[in-house]
């Protein structure tokens, strides 16, 4: 019997260049050899093995799009998406660490920094510095711009006060793209983005959330109490933080789509392998049409999800308007992940409902796809607005 876990699932291979195939395969091999043996322990302890993050940097996975002149890979957004997909196939927590670093933090730094800021931060983002993206607060989730965190200019520094919630990579990050308002009366036009370093006075990483899924990925509260941020650490322009947030989140949604695609693939591969091994009534359950139809439906939805992810990423790299496609990608891929991982548990039967087998983790990891970086309802609102113009 072929080893399903090592075989390529249905994929539009012709849509990848030779270099992209090699890049993808190298990451797949790394994920199998270095990450998979640690997945269960990291999930149970809710701690990501820091040695893996060091290896992410060594492999160039944390600075894929950073220009070569700053020590990065000088690659495309599409390559970052391939990396997130392949890592998430083995562990969604690994996928999201690389995802946030590339599609949100590095993306914002590449596009909005001054040359002085680029020289200061990009070389480290490519070699040893994790980043996080701090937008959400207790009162501003889907209403992303209802921020309560305040920034007041005092001399050569901005003084920030407030709290951020649900910040991915909060524990590992050394630098944060953090949003605060300098003028609450101005609404979204008062929002400003700052580059905040972890060791700035008045900055504290607070509670780490105990989550259902992606448990090894840290999700933390950030506390700012008279946190002093140098004036030169404004990202972009004062009062233009809303523009940075909107544009980076649009790209980040493709990353979440890739993460959910990887989760779906991982669960599907395990379920297909198990269906060929499990015997009932004298034959493997994969010989029953009911199971065959489930596996076929899962494979079809995974293929559709892959095409949406790849298409949106290609559009981004081509400089096309991809806002609608990004929203559709995140919406659909998160739905597929939830359905596929749930079916995988059912194919395993009672075993699937235990932690002794891997599919229940994929199911737990899938749920966040409908929530972070814009809930499914917010994606539907965006899609409806764009298609009904």
Structure-block tokens of residue 153: 């200019």
Helix (H) or strand (E) holding 259: helix 241-277
Q: How far apart are CA 30 and CA 42, in angstroms?
A: 17
Rounded to an integer, what distance in angstroms lies between the CA atom of residue 250 and that of residue 333?
A: 15
Cross-strand pairs, 283: 280
Dihedral sign for Cα atoms in the order 335, 339, 40, 221: positive
Contact 172, 53 (CB under 8 A): yes
Residue 131: DSSP 8-state:
E
Six-digit token string for 159: 């003084």
What is the bridge-based pairing of β-strands 279-280 and 283-284?
Answer: antiparallel
**Rg of the chain, C-alpha, whole Å:** 21
DSSP state of 209: P
- State the catalytic residues: 373
| Buried residues in 375-384 as b, exposed as e (16+ CB within 10 A) | bbebbeebbe
Contact 165, 102 (CB under 8 A): no
Q: Rounded CA gap, 266 and 253, in Å?
A: 20
Quick one: CA dihedral 294, 298, 303, 304, positive or negative? positive
- Dihedrals phi, psi of 183, to nearest 5 degrees: -155, 95
Q: At what angle do helices 359-366 and 323-348 cross, to 10 degrees?
A: 150
Q: How many CB atoms lie within 10 A of CB 13?
A: 10
Distance of alpha carbon 151 from alpha carbon 381, whole angstroms = 30
- Alpha helix ranges (H) inside 4-114: 18-30, 39-45, 50-58, 77-90, 92-99, 107-112
């Amino acid at each position: 019997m072929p080893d399903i876990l090592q075989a390529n699932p249905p994929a539009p291979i012709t849509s990848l260049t030779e270099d992209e195939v090699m890049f993808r395969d190298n990451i797949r091999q790394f994920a199998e050899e270095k990450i998979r043996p640690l997945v269960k322990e990291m999930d149970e302890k809710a701690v990501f093995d820091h040695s893996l993050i060091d290896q992410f940097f060594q492999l160039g996975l944390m600075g894929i799009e950073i220009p070569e002149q700053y020590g990065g890979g000088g690659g495309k957004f599409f390559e970052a998406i391939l990396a997130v997909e392949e890592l998430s196939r083995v562990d969604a927590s690994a996928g999201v660490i690389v995802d946030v670093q590339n599609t949100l933090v590095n993306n914002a730094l590449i596009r909005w920094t001054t040359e002085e800021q680029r020289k200061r931060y990009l070389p480290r983002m490519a070699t040893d510095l994790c980043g996080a993206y701090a937008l959400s607060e207790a009162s501003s989730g889907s209403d992303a711009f209802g921020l309560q965190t305040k920034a007041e200019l005092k001399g050569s520094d901005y003084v920030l006060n407030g709290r951020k919630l649900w910040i991915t990579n909060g524990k590992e990050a050394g630098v944060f793209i953090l949003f605060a308002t300098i003028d609450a009366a101005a609404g979204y036009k008062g929002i400003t983005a700052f580059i905040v370093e972890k060791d700035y006075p008045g900055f504290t990483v607070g509670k780490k959330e105990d989550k259902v899924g992606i448990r090894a990925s840290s999700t933390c509260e950030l506390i700012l109490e008279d946190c002093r941020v140098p004036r030169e650490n404004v990202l972009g322009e004062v009062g233009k933080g809303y523009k940075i947030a909107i544009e980076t989140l649009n790209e980040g949604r493709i990353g979440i789509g890739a993460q959910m695609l990887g989760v779906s693939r991982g669960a599907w591969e395990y379920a297909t392998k198990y269906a060929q091994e499990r015997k009932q009534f004298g034959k493997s359950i994969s010989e029953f049409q009911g199971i065959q139809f489930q596996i076929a439906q899962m494979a079809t939805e995974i293929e559709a999800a892959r095409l949406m992810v790849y298409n949106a990423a290609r559009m981004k790299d081509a400089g096309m308007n991809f806002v609608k496609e990004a929203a559709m990608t995140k919406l659909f891929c998160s739905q597929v992940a939830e359905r596929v991982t749930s079916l995988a548990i059912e194919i395993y039967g009672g075993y699937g409902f235990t932690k002794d087998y891997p599919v229940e983790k994929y199911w737990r990891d899938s749920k966040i796809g409908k929530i972070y970086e814009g809930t499914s309802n917010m994606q539907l609102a965006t899609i409806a607005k764009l298609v009904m113009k």
